[in-house]
Amino acid sequence: MTISSTTSPLLSKKRRDYTPPSHTIETVDLRFELSPQETKVTAVSTIKRIDTQSSVLFLDGKDLCLQSIKIDDQILTENDDYKMLDNGLELYTSLATFTLTVVNTIKPIENTSLEGLYYSNNAYCSQCEAEGFRKITYFLDRPDVLAIFTVSIVSTAEADTYLLSNGNLITDTGFENGERTCVWEDPFPKPSYLFALVAGHFDKLVDEFTTQSGKKIALELFVDEGRLGQGQHALDSLKKAMSWDEQNYGLEYDLDIYMIVAVDFFNMGAMENKGLNVFNSKFVLADAHTATDEDYFNVEAVIAHEYFHNWTGNRVTCRDWFQLSLKEGLTVFRDQQFSADMYSDLVTRISHVNVMRENQFAEDAGPMSHPIRPDEVVEMSNFYTVTVYNKGAEVIRMLHTLLGKAGFRKGMDEYFARHDGQAVTCDDFVNAMQDANGADLSHFKRWYSQSGTPRVRVEQASTGDSQTTLSFTQINTPTRTQAQKQDLYVPIKLECFDKNGHKVDTRLKNDTLVMNSASTALVLDVPNEQITPSLLQDFSAPVLIEYDYTLSQLLIIIEFAGNDYAKWEASHNAYIMLIKEIYNAANGANNNADMQLRQDIEKLATAIKNLTVAPEVLAQILSVPSAESLYSQIEKVDPIMLYHARHKVVVQLSNTLHHFCIRHYLRLSQNPRPYAYEKQQVNNRSLKNTCLHLLAHSSAETVAPLIALQYKNAHNMSDRLGALKAAQVTQDDTFDSLMIAFEEQFGDDAVVMDKWFAMQAKSSKTDILAHLDLLQAHQQYSIKNPNKVRSLIGSFAFYNTLGFHQIDGSGYKYLTDYLITLDKVNPQIASRLMTPLMQFSRYASTNQVLIKAQLNRLYGVKGLSKDLFEKISKALI
């Protein structure tokens, strides 16, 4: 199969081709006459021509059935007054202002893409970001057209159905003559992607928040009937987020009501529609019985993220979708700051650093590599990526480091003062930061346009007898779309220690070396052999550091570094080093590897045992990096060999630290208090379950009974799942019997069952593919439900190394077969699920051949979605 070297120019859009809209829509009155089979939509828009030369208005539209179209009082005729196109319609008019009335129908029940208006689980729900509104009516579906929306929802369903949209409820007719109408008005002009409609039966939890200026806001949370008890944490999180934004950024909520609806069928985590957030129920529902501490953390973070969008995203929005990181990078940074304040700075930071190293670095090294502000897009939903979101947040974090907390706040104030109510660009944001601080950020801006992960090579050499020079060189490797790379602004936070663990004076401000050019050097007044640098503390820049540590150096950092992040990073690097050694030894490089490993682990374990750190820090230090995060460390990696090498290291660590872990485990298991999501309990549970998981790798027979006992006595989901995950490691019958018990207990809870499906998918059963077939037939499984697909097929493809990378290629084929079916149902989810195939170039050649064969097969499928087409064509070039 031959594929041209760029994706079809017909299909792709380029950032540089941006043109302002020819017309704008000032107000729109939408009327929905709901029916699952056929909903009638009437849109009455007041339109103003901006480009005085324009005699054509293009309106986006997709999968719509047009009934009639009118300008002012005149009914329009096809081909004379307008023309239907594949992706919308063209209207011929030179009027400066006019009222456009469009009537069309849509079919919510047939909409399995979950984009536009859909009907799932007996409720109507909309999802319009990025380009879903065009599946509701013909419109200028672009973020730089901001209109005032009034929405009437007409329903003939039972009286107690909620009919919700953005803004304030201005009319509710009540159920009369078999019909009810609710009218909502949102006073804030907004782009169509922030429109929302939800209609269905829910239970409602209500609360109130008083803003710093004394305004009372009604808070309403809608959940599936019977689930009210699982909504309180989300509502509490919302109130925390509201006051955090006031305290930290002076930002107050602006409408009288804030609504959140939790639904089971949703493509992403949640959506920040103005005044009416829609959430995947996974990020709302939580109680001790059904949610882990991690779930509680995620609910709080996602609730905050969507709330923060009210200012960074809604009040100031994006001019075009290439600017997505303007709102997402910034909002992720803000939610990360919030989580760090609510829970633990360190654990929050580590979890985000892991996402960067496991997922973002991989994306940036693969065929979908793009800058945080992409230049070319075929399907916008393919660009809701870890690059735009998480690397985008890291770029904002560097700005924060550069300008300091107060300077950053000044920049934010300036940004809102200049752009409230506007649709703007990433440049506008950086300019506000720059002007508010009198700084020059022109060099910094390169982070927005350059893709790829910079590598920073650090070399250490003697300068005379008593000095050491650390030299730093930036390497920005060319990528397919960017042959020429520039050097970037890279702040490297570092500390250096001498052989006794004393901190060496680096004379650096805030311990940070700023690279403004391709290379730089740091001279220290200590002899070379005595220096140990602790580099990139707090992950101060999204780069890969290359420095050849010895184990002794890492042990010095673990023992003497004053900050816990550095200790964690050093232990992490030590594990990577040991895993690589075993991996290379399996390739015949070192026959003494096992003995060496025993000795090295002994030393590492001693350093760990001697630490006096908080439980959550110890838990992180005892967590060996995932195999996925190691893929960027080894060229052309054999995933199965790496899996075994990692496993060997974990087993050795487990045996060496057996008594230490047992001691902590037993201590932390005593006198459990009733579950609460509060720091001390969470931190202790984290250490307890990390110890149990590590213990499960040891050869000691005492561990299995501990696991079974913990499962039996568990009074919260963290402990229950902790036991289940440990049981999975031991691979004995306990695991299967516990899984049966789990299913019996939680079989009717969709969110909890996702955990069960995910555990099943990661099983190391040799007949895993047949097992997956059986699970697909489970009564709780549905290909139409993204959470189920992600839990089962996603967990298999992303995390089941042995099953997915089977040497006969059957794992790859299994995923591909599934993608072919899923693409017809929900292209967005299919596209996300193909990520493990996209990253084939990092694997050994045997794996590469097998994966490429599947990609070629996929490419040959007729009627493939744009979503998959864009990715495959990039992968196969």
Stretch that binds Zn ion, among 228-236, 254-262, 321-329, 836-844 (CB under 5 A): 321-329
User: Closest approach of Cβ 651 to Zn ion, in Å?
Assistant: 40
- Nearest partner of 754 among 778, 737, 733, judged by Cα: 778
> What b/e readout covers 618-640, taking b as 16+ CB neighbours within 10 angstroms?
bbbbbbbbebbbbbbbbeebbbb
Piece of 265-273, 353-361, 542-550, 730-738 that binds ligand 0A1 (CB under 6 A): 265-273
Pick from 41, 59, 268, 729 the residue near ligand 0A1 by CB under 6 A: 268
Single out the segment in contact with ligand 0A1 by CB under 6 A; choices: 266-274, 593-601, 636-644, 857-865: 266-274
User: Per CB under 6 A, does 384 bind ligand 0A1?
Assistant: yes
| Helix residue ranges, H only, 731-865 | 733-746, 750-761, 768-776, 786-789, 795-799, 801-804, 810-825, 827-833, 835-838, 845-859
Report the phi/psi class of residue 763: left, alpha or beta, with left for phi > 0 and alpha for psi in -120 to 50.
beta
Residues pairing with 405 in the sheet: none
Question: Per CB under 6 A, which region of 41-49, 245-253, 267-275, 680-688 contacts ligand 0A1?
Answer: 267-275
For residue 320, the partner it binds in ligand 0A1, Zn ion, none, with Cβ less than 5 to 8 A by kind, is none
Count helices and strands in the chain by DSSP H and E runs: 30, 33
* Minimum distance, C-beta of residue 264 to Zn ion, in the bound complex (Å): 21
| Minimal distance, residue 380 CB to ligand 0A1, in Å | 8
**460: helix, strand or coil:** strand
SS3 400: helix
From residue 285 to residue 314, the character string flagging contacts with ligand 0A1 as x (rule: CB under 6 A) and all else as - is --------------------xx--------
Helix axes 717-730, 679-695, angle to 10 degrees: 10
Contact partner, 127, from Zn ion, ligand 0A1, none, Cβ < 5-8 Å per class: ligand 0A1
- DSSP three-state, residue 782: coil
Q: Which stretch binds ligand 0A1 (CB under 6 A): 263-271, 370-378, 601-609, 748-756?
A: 263-271
Please list the helix, strand and coil fractions of the chain in percent, rounded to the nearest 5, in that order. 45, 20, 30
Element spanning 185, H or E: strand 180-190
Contact mark string toward ligand 0A1, 103..142, x via CB under 6 A: ------------------------x-x-------------
β-sheet bridge partners, residue 45: 28, 100
Task: Spell out, one character per residue from 682 to 721, where the chain touches Zn ion: x when CB under 5 A holds, - when not.
Answer: ----------------------------------------
Nearer of residues 385 and 453 to ligand 0A1, judged by Cβ: 385
Contact string (CB under 5 A) for Zn ion, positions 218-257, x = contact:
----------------------------------------
* Of 647, 616, 618, 617, nearest in space to 630 by CA: 647
Contact 186, 170 (CB under 8 A): no
Active site residues: 306
Query: Is 267 one of the binding residues for ligand 0A1 (CB under 6 A)?
Result: yes
d(Cα 561, Cα 770) in Å, to the nearest integer?
A: 50
Does 581 engage in binding with ligand 0A1 (CB under 6 A)? Answer: no
**Closer by beta carbon to ligand 0A1, 272 or else 564:** 272
In which residue are the tokens 């021509």 written? Answer: 49
328 vs 569 by CB, closer to Zn ion: 328
Q: Least distance in Å: CB of 174 to ligand 0A1?
A: 33
CB-nearer residue toward ligand 0A1: 167 or 313: 313
Rounded alpha-carbon distances, angstroms, from residue 619 to 677, 678, 723: 17, 17, 16
The residue to which tokens 């081709």 are assigned: 17
Tokens for 218, please give them.
């009604």
Question: What is each CA distance from 234 to 258, 261, 282, 307, in whole angstroms?
Answer: 13, 11, 11, 12
Backbone angles phi, psi at 125, to 5 degrees: -150, 145
Within 819-848, the residues that bind ligand 0A1 by CB under 6 A are 828
Give the C-alpha separation, 310 to 260, whole Å.
13
Q: Residues 115, 828: contact at Cβ < 8 Å?
A: yes
Q: Which is nearer to ligand 0A1, 385 or 854 (CB)?
A: 385
Of 262, 268, 342, nearest to 301 (Cα)? 342
Q: How far apart are CA 284 and CA 205, in angstroms?
A: 12
| Count of chain residues binding ligand 0A1 (CB under 6 A) | 14
Tokens matching residue 130: 């990025």
Burial of 295 (0-12, 13-18, 19+ CB in 10 A): buried
358 binds, among Zn ion, ligand 0A1, none (CB under 5 to 8 A by kind): none
CB of 389 to Zn ion, least distance (A): 7
The distance between the two most distant Cα atoms of the chain, rounded to a whole number of Å, is 95
Question: Tokens at residue 65, please?
Answer: 């059935």
Stretch that binds ligand 0A1, among 269-277, 651-659, 666-674, 841-849 (CB under 6 A): 269-277
Contact in structure between 70 and 7 (CB atoms under 8 Å): no
Out of Zn ion, ligand 0A1, none, what residue 384 binds, judged by CB under 5 to 8 A for its kind, is ligand 0A1
The option from ligand 0A1, Zn ion, none interacting with 295 (CB < 5 to 8 A, set by class) reads none
Q: Which residue's structure tokens are 């069309």?
A: 104
Residue 826: CB minimum distance to ligand 0A1, A:
11
| 295 vs 600 by CB, closer to ligand 0A1 | 295
If binding is defined by CB under 6 A, does position 333 make contact with ligand 0A1? no
Residue 331 beta carbon to ligand 0A1: minimum distance, rounded to whole angstroms: 7
What's the CA gap between 595 and 833, in Å, rounded?
Answer: 41
- Count of beta carbons in the 10 Å neighbourhood of residue 342: 17
Shortest Å distance, C-beta 233 to ligand 0A1:
19
Least distance between ligand 0A1 and beta carbon 121 (Å): 17
Virtual torsion, Cα 680, 685, 688, 693, nearest 10 deg: -150
- Smallest distance from ligand 0A1 to CB 128, Å: 8
Find the binder of ligand 0A1 among 224, 328, 487, 628 (CB under 6 A).
Answer: 328
For the chain, the straight-line distance linking the first and the last C-alpha, in angstroms and rounded, comes to 10
Q: Which does 381 bind (CB under 5 to 8 A by kind): ligand 0A1, Zn ion, none?
A: ligand 0A1
- Residue 370 touches which member of Zn ion, ligand 0A1, none, C-beta under 5-8 Å by kind: none
Interaction between residue 320 and ligand 0A1 (CB under 6 A):
no
Give the one residue of 7, 192, 381, 780 binding ligand 0A1; rule: CB under 6 A.
Answer: 381
In the range 410-469, which residues lie near ligand 0A1 by CB under 6 A?
none
User: Which 150-169 residues touch Zn ion, going by CB under 5 A?
Assistant: none
Min separation Cβ 363 and ligand 0A1, Å: 17
**CB-closest chain residue to ligand 0A1:** 268
CB 191 within 8 A of CB 130: no
Closer residue to ligand 0A1 (CB): 261 or 692: 261
Q: Of 323-352, which residues contact Zn ion (CB under 5 A)?
A: 328, 331
Query: What is the spatial distance between Cα 82 and Cα 84, in angstroms, rounded to a whole number?
Result: 7
* Structure tokens that stand for 326 in this block: 């303007």
Q: Kindly state the smallest distance separating residue 116's Cβ from Zn ion, in Å.
A: 20
Given the rule CB under 6 A, which residues bind ligand 0A1? 127, 129, 267-272, 305-306, 328, 381, 384, 828
Given the rule CB under 5 A, which residues bind Zn ion? 328, 331
